[in-house]
Structure 1
Amino acid sequence: MKACIFCQQIKLEQILSETEYFKVVFDINPVQMGHLLIISKKHAMDMRELLDEELFDLIKLEQQLMSKIYDIFDVDGVTIAQNNGSIMDKGTHCHVHVIPRYKNDEFWDNQKVVPHENDLLKLKVALSLK
């Protein structure tokens, strides 16, 4: 098994900011200038493995990073995208992308997703408030 780059290859000088549970670095393959990664300090493969205090820390950190991006850049918005599970790049663990956005930046134009049939009624029932 390939070693986790987030656990073993992030150098101290790459860390832009950190909290008790997370570190923030620039994405090495940015979608947009200023694209950040929030990386769990714990080797969690899925957000569902995070404790409540870690989840709270994550959402507060996302909010703080968004505010900094809005303050520093002339952005129209920020996209938050989270990767979990076996769909992630090999050698990584649970992380969040924080991406500065601009009108007409064509962010979604290159999405080519193979649709999968799913039982939407089953999901709707599962999400229903009782």
Structure 2
Amino acid sequence: MSDQCLFCGIVAGDLPGVKVAEDETTFAFMDIHPASDGHLLVVPKRHSRDLLDIPAEDLAAVTLAAQRIAKVAVEELGADGVNLLNCCGADAWQTVFHFHLHVVPRYVDAAKDRLILPWQPGVPADIDTVSSRGERLRIALAEDS
């Protein structure tokens, strides 16, 4: 736990938060700046800065907790879908540096859902660029294993 981390403070009960679920490894609470009705965060109890820092077992636990919560959001809140979102690094919109997954219930009804896409799905990229980057990643991953 980090003394200066907002989410560590919420997990510890030192700062206010609307708890939704908790288990041995994870803690889920409502986002106070929601993108949609029912938007919440799932965090590991053990502090990790971001996706690049979190131990695999904590990442797995957070992901499984997020899946469980997403299913309940669809059933209980009548969501039409769910986005799981992680932002890793300030340039990727991370504002609190404690790993977290956003569970964002999605609704056809715009009154319940304020999230809009920052890019346009379906707009194709240059296939040579896509292939080149894919090859670089494939080689680096093969060398890493």
TM-score range, shorter chain: 0.7 to 0.9
| Equivalent residue runs for 1:1-130 within 5 Å | 3-10=4-11, 11=13, 14-87=18-91, 88-89=94-95, 91-103=96-108, 105=110, 107-108=115-116, 111=118, 120-128=130-138
- Asked if the contact 2:83–2:105 (Cα under 8 Å) also holds between the matched residues in 1, the reply is yes
Asked if structure 1 preserves the Cα contact closer than 8 Å seen for 2:38 and 2:104, the reply is: yes
Structure 2 CA distance, aligned partners of 1:39 and 1:54? 9
1:107 counterpart letter in structure 2: L
Question: How far has the Cα of 1:23 moved from its partner?
Answer: 0.6
Runs of 4+ in 1 over 6 A off after TM superposition: none
The structure whose RCO (Cα within 8 Å, separation 6+) is larger is: 1
Q: Which ranges in structure 2 are unaligned for 5 or more consecutive residues?
A: 120-128
CA distance in 2, matches of 1:75, 1:9: 26
Give the drift of 1:17. Answer: 1.0
Q: Number of residues paired by the alignment?
A: 121
CA RMSD of aligned residues (A): 2.8
Distance 2:37 2:47 in 1: 27
* Offset, 1:21: 2.1
Deviation of 1:13 after TM superposition, in Å, equals: 6.2
Q: Distance in 2 between matches of 1:21 and 1:41?
A: 6
The TM-score, its normalising length taken from structure 1, stands at 0.75
Change in Cα spacing, 1:41 to 1:61, as seen in structure 2 (3 Å) is same
What TM-score comes out, normalization by structure 2 length?
0.68
Between the aligned partners of 1:83 and 1:58, the Cα distance in structure 2 is 14
